[in-house]
Amino acid sequence: MRTVFQVFLSVLCLMSHFQSEAAAEDVKKATHPNIVFLLSDDQRPDTIGALGNKIIKTPNLDQLVKQGTSFTRAVCANPICTPSRAEIMTGVSGFHNGSLDFGKPIKPELTTWSQAMHNAGYNSWYVGKWHNDGKPVMRGYDETLGLFTGGGGRWAVPSYDGNGLLVTGYRGWIFQDDERNMFPQKGVGLSSNISEHFADAAIEFIERKHEKPYFLHVCFTAPHDPLLMPIGYEQYYDPNKIPVPVNFQPEHPFEHGNKYGRDEKLLPWPRTKQIVQNDLSLYYSVVSHLDAQVGRIVDALKKSGQWENTILIYSSDHGLAMGSHGLRGKQNMYEHTVGVPLIMVGPGIPADKRSAAQCYLRDLYPTSCDLAGVPIPKTVEAKSLKPVLTGDKEAIYDEVYCYFRNFQRMIRTDRWKLIVYPHLNRVQLFDLKQDPLEQHDLSQAPQHQQVRDSLHRKLNDWRKEQNDASLASAKKS
């Protein structure tokens, strides 16, 4: 009897041990959720149905809006691809991370988002467009799949977009692996259904067996130009029934610093409503196709049993004009461009909530660390948005600042926006509460001079703190 009893006690001890290990593992999983970051390219903040666009069809993004918190005043500080992505990856402004413009490398001493997650025991994976120096595996990512970047120029051939215009973007871009093996059979440059390739790669990562939590960073190319009609979406939008933006103009009234850049040459001058409607029908179709791929990724997370322990973040690297203010591209300080969609879903994040707290894309890095219980590296300048998510604070910033080369500087408060054009000795002032579409410049209105001057002083103080080279060369406004 004593031997049987001892065996029984041993079995109980073993069971208790295994249960304790399982409980510890459950706690670990609960403390360290997976982080899935989905980033689109050139997506205006007003292109999600649940956030107010009555024309566009985005059922999957709409569902994320209902399940999570949407930040309706998030901004991209520097609205061009490479610098924006550098800020996202480092949590540091372009004035300090080394990448203030195209071709500028990220400072190697900065701890990137992927490195921070890797150092905390995460697997860090990368899918999709890479537009910074080096390769993802040099920036803390353990592995890539569906990597899409330059290097395939020898396979590139002239092609035309959905408007019949010669393609000038992504020529020579190609799928490749970490050893630079290239796969021209998947297409060179953008293809109409390229978002499916990125979703396929993300799903392959998700469906693997996981011993550790993971950080999955997925960068889509949609809806960046060239706009190509996705197969099966030809009848989604009738151009004649798509309204042009309310702040549509045939041409921007002055040279803002990129009036004749590559992006702007995608549409002829003067812009006409028909031209913009045709472009928007393609743009919306590409966004809807992208939305379907987001749905596939979410379904994969649910089917694999990982959804409840995953924080999903959806955003874009910047917005786009698409006819607003007479512009087509990015490289401007208007809300349709510096603004970005931003949705967060997951454990600890309130459902069906809208937050007007101002924030930057670079804040996503420390926010994810804070939510996942991962130490935020000392090199990070950005701030965690967790206090807003938990309801402890309504705002993190009193104002935000944006910039484009030496041509544009911006300060935005809850109500006001001041844009400075150093090369023109010109400013614009908008009352965003009364004029959210920025159609009425108040910079010369006598009753608003005090607001203008106060914002200008604050902006100049900030520029000095950043060692902004444009300040020294600018004329006094």
Query: What pLDDT score does 182 carry?
Result: 95
Structure-token pair, residue 416: 């006001």
- The amino acid that residue 191 corresponds to is S
453's enclosing H/E stretch is helix 449-465
Structure-token pair, residue 195: 């978002």
Query: What pLDDT score does 110 carry?
Result: 97
Mean residue pLDDT across the chain = 92
Q: By the 8 A CB rule, do 264 and 323 touch?
A: no
For range 197-211, the mean pLDDT = 97
Query: What pLDDT score does 470 carry?
Result: 79
Query: What pLDDT score does 19 carry?
Result: 40
> Which of 27-36, 214-223, 256-265, 266-275 has the weakest average pLDDT?
27-36
pLDDT band at 471 (very low <50, low <70, confident <90, very high): confident
Given a cut of 80, whether residue 222 has pLDDT beyond it is: yes
CA distance 321 to 334: 8
pTM value is 0.92
For range 366-385, the mean pLDDT = 97
Given a cut of 50, whether residue 30 has pLDDT beyond it is: no
> Which of 53-62, 163-172, 275-284, 385-394 has the weakest average pLDDT?
163-172
Q: By the 8 A CB rule, do 437 and 323 touch?
A: no
Given a cut of 90, whether residue 20 has pLDDT beyond it is: no
CA distance 382 to 359: 9
Query: What pLDDT score does 473 carry?
Result: 56
Residues near 196 by beta carbon (within 8 Å), at least 6 away in sequence: 293
Q: Which candidate, 330, 151, 344, places its Cα nearest to that of 256?
A: 330
CA distance 469 to 477: 16
- pLDDT tens, residue by residue, 40-84: 999 999 999 999 999 999 999 999 999 999 999 999 999 999 999
The backbone torsions φ and ψ at residue 335, rounded to the nearest 5 degrees and listed phi first, read -60, -35
Q: By the 8 A CB rule, do 218 and 128 touch?
A: yes
Start-to-end CA distance of the chain, whole Å, equals 96
- pLDDT tens, residue by residue, 403-427: 999 999 999 999 999 999 999 999 9
Query: What pLDDT score does 6 carry?
Result: 46
Query: What pLDDT score does 474 carry?
Result: 52
Domains of the chain: 33-397 (3.40.720.10), 406-473 (3.30.1120.10)
Which residue is it, tokens 């149905």? 49
pLDDT band at 5 (very low <50, low <70, confident <90, very high): very low
Query: What pLDDT score does 472 carry?
Result: 65
Residue 180, sorted as left (phi over 0), alpha (psi -120 to 50) or beta, turns out to be: left
Query: What pLDDT score does 333 carry?
Result: 98
pLDDT band at 103 (very low <50, low <70, confident <90, very high): confident
- pLDDT tens, residue by residue, 290-346: 999 999 999 999 999 999 999 999 999 999 999 999 999 999 999 999 999 999 999
